[in-house]
Amino acid sequence: MTVYEKIATPSRAPSAQQAAPIPDDAAMLRVAAELNREFAVANPAVYWPDFLGSTALGYAGLAGAMLFESVPLVLLSGLVAMLALYRAASFIHELTHVRKGALPGFRLAWNVLIGVPLMIPSFMYEGVHTLHHARTRYGTANDPEYLPLALMKPWSLPLFVLTAMLAPLGVILRFGVLTPLSLLSPSLRRVVEERFSALSINPSFRRRAPEGEFRRQWYVQEAGACLFALALVGSVFLFGWRPLLTCVAVHSTMTVINQLRTLVAHLWENEGDTMSVTAQYLDSVNVPPPSPFAAIWAPVGLRYHALHHLLPSVPYHALGKAHRRMKAALDVQDTYGRANYAGMLPLVGKIARSTMGAR
């Protein structure tokens, strides 16, 4: 039995979804294909100001959290830094889907300003997230971004969220320790590339070694993150503990919010079987307006995660319009409406109740 199977084996009877596979909704898929052709154009005039503005605000807040003496101002600055940097970091999702040449220089700018300083360079996601969208991989043991959380024990949910608090320490160890050590040991290097070079939640996922131009990009980004990790730890000797602890606190809080978003991005009800596109859509989640907070905890279009699985090529700024078109073209009682939810708390409750049904 694999690690995935040990973690993912449900402790109750299979749900109706597993007992009766869901066929594809031809009408919904037809409308989605039409909208995909119409909206699949990234607008640089939206991407650049959004990203650069979020980045500037985030670092301004981080500086305030490091420099202010007033506790309320420190906390307010830290909150601003967390939310703004979280939004800026979320553009890594767009990097994996945007068409080549649509945003010249954007990948480089994102890595220089966010990926390397936060030690989440884009190679950790590129070539990984697209596997999650592969028709025959979604929800299976070969999906790096899937675990059947709804079918697991109740303690698995808080553990899933709380482990994200350790992410800042994890990336410092990954890049500040494992990267230089792996240069001395080919066997360690192989382990690092296979097991510690992907932003995934499936513990059994093993990544292939990079090839071609992507290999060069990977190593350049990894070298930058390594140098930053060492500099961040070394800053203690020059500036004391406050800058390091502030960065860790902001990064940790940001990662926990993202882990909560991940928790409600799907219903996590598949046990590993191959699913139809419609079944994958229904196992995913939209939190459309009028939910007032979804744009904060699921920024850059992530509130339309189910729709994104239908329209992976549509940029984040067009998903709201595509959602309204889908609703107008399809009856609200049809398949499309069944993936729309009111907010995070009802979704957490739904998944928690599912785990409570475990025997």
CA angle 88, 91, 93 (to 5 degrees): 145
pLDDT value, residue 257: 97
340 bridge partner residues: 286
Please tell me the pTM assigned to this model. Answer: 0.92
How many Å apart are CA 48 and CA 31, to the nearest integer? 30
**Residue 261 CA neighbour count, 13 Å, CB half:** 25
Domain with 121 in it: 3-356
Question: Which amino acid would we find at residue 211?
Answer: E
Q: Dihedral angle at the C-alpha atoms of 75, 77, 80, 85, nearest 10 degrees?
A: -110
What residues of the chain score a pLDDT lower than 70?
Answer: 1-19, 332-333, 358-359
How many Å apart are CA 138 and CA 148, to the nearest integer? 11
Strands (E) in 17-150, as ranges, are none
CA angle 264, 150, 268 (to 5 degrees): 55
pLDDT value, residue 330: 82
How many Å apart are CA 332 and CA 27, to the nearest integer? 13
CA distances from 300 to 88, 285, 303 (A): 9, 15, 8
pLDDT value, residue 18: 46
pLDDT value, residue 149: 93
- What region, left, alpha or beta, does residue 181 occupy, with left being phi > 0 and alpha being psi -120 to 50 degrees? alpha
Question: Furthest-apart CA pair in the chain: how many Å?
Answer: 63
pLDDT value, residue 333: 63
pLDDT value, residue 55: 98
How many domains are there within the chain?
1
DSSP 317: G
Q: For the chain, what's the residue count?
A: 359
pLDDT value, residue 13: 38
Of 150, 165, 126, 113, which is closest to residue 267 (Cα–Cα)? 150
pLDDT value, residue 281: 96
